[in-house]
Structure 1
Amino acid sequence: MISNRVIQEMLDTEKTYQTSLEQFSQATKQPFFAEGPEIFQKLATATQKFSELSEALHFNASVEMTQSLSNAELTQLRAERMNLIGQFFAEFKSYMSVYEEFLKIKYTSNDAPEQLPFKQLDTFLRRISTLDSASLLIQPLQRGPRYELLIKDVLKRDDELSPESPNKLSDEARGQLEILLNTTKGYLSEAAKREATPGYKFGDITRSLVRKGSELLSAAKSAPSAPENTSAQASGYKFGDYTRGFVSKAYSFWAPTPVAEISTPVLVSSSYSDTPAAQIPSAEPAVRTPPALPPRDMSRVSAVSLHDSDDDFESDDEQTFTFK
Structure 2
Amino acid sequence: MTSVDSPVCASQGDILISEVGPRDGLQSLKATMPTADKLRWIDALYAAGIREIEVASFVPARLLPQMADAAEVVRHAITLPGLTVMALVPNLRGAEAALAAGVHKLTVPVSASEAHSLANVRKTRAEMVEEVRAIAALRRERAPHVGFEAGLSTAFGCTLQGEVPEDEVIRLAAQCIEAGADEAGLSDTVGYANPAQVRRLFRRLRAELGEHAGAAHMHNTRGLGLANCLAAYEEGVRTFDASLGGLGGCPYAPGASGNVVTEDLVFMFEAMGVRTGIDIERLIAARAPLMAGLPGEPMYGMTPEAGLPKGFNAAHAAKETKNV
TM-score relative to the length of structure 1? 0.24
Comparing both structures, which one devotes a greater share of its residues to helix?
Answer: 1
Q: Which entry has the higher C-alpha Rg, 1 or 2?
A: 1
TM-score, scaled relative to structure 2 = 0.24
Normalized per residue, which structure has more strand? 2
